[in-house]
Amino acid sequence: MSKFYVTTPIYYVNDVPHVGHAYTTVVADVLARFHRMLGDDVYFLTGTDEHGQKIERSAAGRGMTPIALADQVVQRYHALWKRLGITHDDFIRTTEHRHQQGVFRIFERILARGDIVKGRYEGWYCTGCEAFFPESQLVDGKCPDQGHPVERVAEESYFFRLSKYERPLLEHYRTHPEFIFPETRRNEIVSFVSSGLRDLSISRTSFRWGIPFPSDPKHIFYVWFDALANYVTALDYSGDRTLYDRYWPADVHLVGKDILKFHAVYWPAFLMAAGLPLPRRIVGHGWWLRDSAKMSKSRGSVIEPNALLDEFGADAIRYFLMREMAFGQDASYSDEALIDRINSDLANDLGNLASRTLKLIETACGGRIPEGDASVRREADLTPPTRAAFEGLVSRFKALDFSGGLAQVWTLVSAINRFIVEKEPWKLANDPTGKETVGPVLYQAAEALRIVGLLISPVAPFAARGLWRQLGISEDPANGDLSAFRWGLLPPGQPIARGEALFPRVDKKAYLSRIPEPQAGTETAARPAAPSREKEKKVEPMTPPASEVSMVDINEFRRIQLKVGKIVAAERVEGARKLLKIQVDVGGEVRQIVSGIADKYAPEALLGKQIVVVTNLVPATIRGVESRGMLLAAEDAGGAATIVTFEEAVPPGSSVR
Ligand code: MSP
């Protein structure tokens, strides 16, 4: 048994997760699940990156402490990973004690090697990327990597002697061609390092949110030095090291292409200096784009995964992400593409095949897996295409070609469909001379479907389990074996349990008209995003006609969290006549809310007002401004809003029922 240690990047807690973040974690989860099914001893780590200037500023902008922001956002990550079926073994937060201790230990080893020197950093800093850039690298005065604004920094700093590792790094890339994947990214890194490395500033003194230097606490660690260390600190590197000894070096550090330089240049150099083994592979994936630009919060073009999960479920999202993106390259997200995949591959091809096969077993074989005959269980018509799909998926997933691997399974799904059409088991069942053959035909289809369940389990774990249950198998395919192809394991006589459709069809037209595609660059797709924008466009009475009112029960109503809020600041949103940006104290936390009440209220008239806020609404970005909640207001027939307030003072944060 070999060990397999896979990691995701640790996510910044300045903001809630979006589909881009979900993608990196889903890929890591698919790899972890796949390697478990190969029989490997898997360790899968994810977590959050909680220090640095970006988070300090983001928290200040919300009137919160950085740790309060981190505590809040980390919950969003936990909840999202649960919904997406992510099977990580550990979740590290860089504000944990074990992490801090580990960072000290690595630092001490590098210090002892003589690779840390004190000096002064003067140059540019990009808070968006948390990266230093010399003047010569700026493009139009902006950060060369992502076009973020940069700031001038001049401060005392400790430097890591990165320049010393230029040659050893190049040597490592040369002798370990597999170290950086894919090849194109490897070439980029090789040419970056070949063009010369400067020593790297690894401490900051101009703000406080970080791990202080043990010997000189006015310095805090540069956030990337702190963050990269997570891959070993999570393995109890400063503690008893059992996990470290068992799993380090990592087999795959999975990262987006934007952060490859940190992982393929800085991290191995730190490790070399600390005298620790290097990870086996750094794998850089492409970006999910909207309108040819990276989906990103600052551009207001993110897709909110929870809304997609509500609508389509985890399997469909996971399948889409893995199938649609040729791994390593960029891909464009659209609702249409997602729904097309769901309808054609999942509902139509696989879902219909399963329900058709199970229905035939019900009617022609009394609802039990047919006997077939022994020879069919050893080898039959469907054995070769099933074996080909099995071997095809396993070899492609090993080569990180997830889309290609899944395509192999869908070739098999078509082969099973064709086989059923050709053999016409429904006719055989009614024909006395065909009774003998209907069993073997349906046995084969059911057995091939069992193997389809096994193959899709890393990507669509819930549906795979559902498929097995319908075939009457109580085990979870996630515990199945992908290390060797085995045909004929489905026990004849086993009662099947045909249930609900595995993948319901999505009414694309209805969905798209209900939820308009967001315009990249203007507004998030944090669905439902429509109301505020709709209001900007046309004025409609808020109350729908009586015939459209649907009743909710008390539990549904309770899911909506309503709280008393006190307005502490308000201003207009530039370029949006009707919108105000309002800061509301909802009890120990100040929320920013964007509301379409500027027609009726001047910002200053709102100060101190007590209002009712929906506090568990999915955050949205409206006209490029983040809105985390909604205030309640009555709307008259002309569309003017009157806010809901209280007769007498109530403490902010009180719940409203
Ligand atoms: N905190 C650092 C990583 C430190 S690892 C020691 C960071 N965090 S992040 O939250 O900004 O991004 C985490 C991951 O999400 C990166 O791998 C990034 O590439 C990925 N994505 C963010 N937006 C993305 C897309 N639009 N598409 C695909 N993935 C992208 O960087």
3 state SS for 361-372: HHHHHCCECCCC
The pLDDT of residue 314 is above 90: yes
Tell the residue nearest (CA) to atom 7 of ligand 1. 11
Of 271-275, 290-294, 315-319, 552-556, where does mean pLDDT reach its minimum?
Answer: 552-556
**Alpha carbon distance 413, 411 (integer Å):** 5
DSSP letter assigned to residue 249: S
Sorted by sequence, the CB contacts under 8 Å of residue 474 that are 6+ apart come out as: none
Sorted by sequence, the CB contacts under 8 Å of residue 9 that are 6+ apart come out as: 24, 49, 254, 255, 256, 259
Of 121-135, 381-395, 599-613, 622-636, where does mean pLDDT reach its minimum?
Answer: 622-636
Dihedral angle over CA of 23, 25, 30, 36, nearest 10: 180
Q: What is the pLDDT of residues 532-579, one digit of tens each?
A: 323 233 223 233 333 334 456 565 677 788 999 999 889 888 877 788
Q: Report whether residue 24 contacts ligand 1, using a CB cutoff of 6 Å.
A: yes
The beta strand positions in 82-143, using DSSP E, are: 90-93, 116-126, 131-133
Ligand 1: distance of its center to the CA of 344 in Å?
Answer: 30
Q: Report whether residue 49 contacts ligand 1, using a CB cutoff of 6 Å.
A: yes
Q: Report whether residue 306 contacts ligand 1, using a CB cutoff of 6 Å.
A: no
Ligand 1: distance of its center to the CA of 21 in Å?
Answer: 6
Cβ atoms of 613 and 630 closer than 8 Å: yes
Q: Report whether residue 10 contacts ligand 1, using a CB cutoff of 6 Å.
A: yes
Q: What is the pLDDT of residues 26-82, one digit of tens each?
A: 999 999 999 999 999 999 999 999 999 999 999 999 999 999 999 999 999 999 999
Task: Enter the tokens of residue 297.
Answer: 């919060």
| Residue closest to 410 by CA, chosen among 341, 358, 470, 337 | 341
Nearest atom, ligand 1, residue 263 CA: 6
Q: Report whether residue 19 contacts ligand 1, using a CB cutoff of 6 Å.
A: no
Under DSSP, is residue 511 helix (H, G, I), strand (E, B) or coil? helix
- Give how far the C-alpha of residue 120 lies from the chain's centroid of Cα atoms, to the nearest Å: 38
Q: Report whether residue 294 contacts ligand 1, using a CB cutoff of 6 Å.
A: yes
Instruction: Tell me what percent of the residues of the chain surpass a pLDDT of 70.
Output: 93
**Alpha carbon distance 283, 45 (integer Å):** 15
Q: Report whether residue 12 contacts ligand 1, using a CB cutoff of 6 Å.
A: yes
Helix axes 402-423, 352-365, angle to 10 degrees: 40
Helix axes 305-312, 314-324, angle to 10 degrees: 110
Cβ atoms of 303 and 19 closer than 8 Å: yes
| Residue closest to 632 by CA, chosen among 647, 648, 644 | 644
The predicted pLDDT at position 152 comes to 94
Q: What are phi and psi of 491, to 5 degrees?
A: -75, 125
Q: Report whether residue 288 contacts ligand 1, using a CB cutoff of 6 Å.
A: yes
Nearest atom, ligand 1, residue 258 CA: 19
Under DSSP, is residue 596 helix (H, G, I), strand (E, B) or coil? coil
Cβ atoms of 257 and 184 closer than 8 Å: no
Cβ atoms of 594 and 573 closer than 8 Å: yes
What are the angstrom distances between the C-alpha of 481 and each of 33, 40, 455, 492?
11, 11, 10, 20
Q: Report whether residue 9 contacts ligand 1, using a CB cutoff of 6 Å.
A: yes
Q: Report whether residue 11 contacts ligand 1, using a CB cutoff of 6 Å.
A: yes
Confidence of residue 238 (pLDDT cuts 50, 70, 90): very high
**Alpha carbon distance 630, 617 (integer Å):** 7
**Alpha carbon distance 95, 59 (integer Å):** 15
Task: Enter the tokens of residue 649.
Answer: 């003072």
Q: Greatest CA separation found in the chain?
A: 91
Ligand 1: distance of its center to the CA of 600 in Å?
Answer: 41
Q: Is the dihedral of CA 591, 592, 596, 598 positive or negative?
A: positive
The residue written with tokens 């006209």 in the block is 623
Average pLDDT along the chain: 90
The pLDDT of residue 528 is above 50: no
Task: Enter the tokens of residue 358.
Answer: 């199970």
pTM score, whole prediction: 0.80
Ligand 1: distance of its center to the CA of 181 in Å?
Answer: 17
**To test ligand 1's pocket by mutation, which of 259, 283, 285 has the most ligand atoms within 8 angstroms of CB?**
259
Pairing of strands 41-49, 90-93: parallel
Q: Report whether residue 581 contacts ligand 1, using a CB cutoff of 6 Å.
A: no
Q: Report whether residue 327 contacts ligand 1, using a CB cutoff of 6 Å.
A: no
Can you list the domains of the chain with their CATH numbers?
Answer: 3-285 (3.40.50.620), 338-534 (1.10.730.10), 546-643 (2.40.50.140)
The pLDDT of residue 382 is above 60: yes
Dihedral angle over CA of 383, 388, 393, 394, nearest 10: 90
Reported as type and span, the H/E element at residue 563 is: strand 562-572
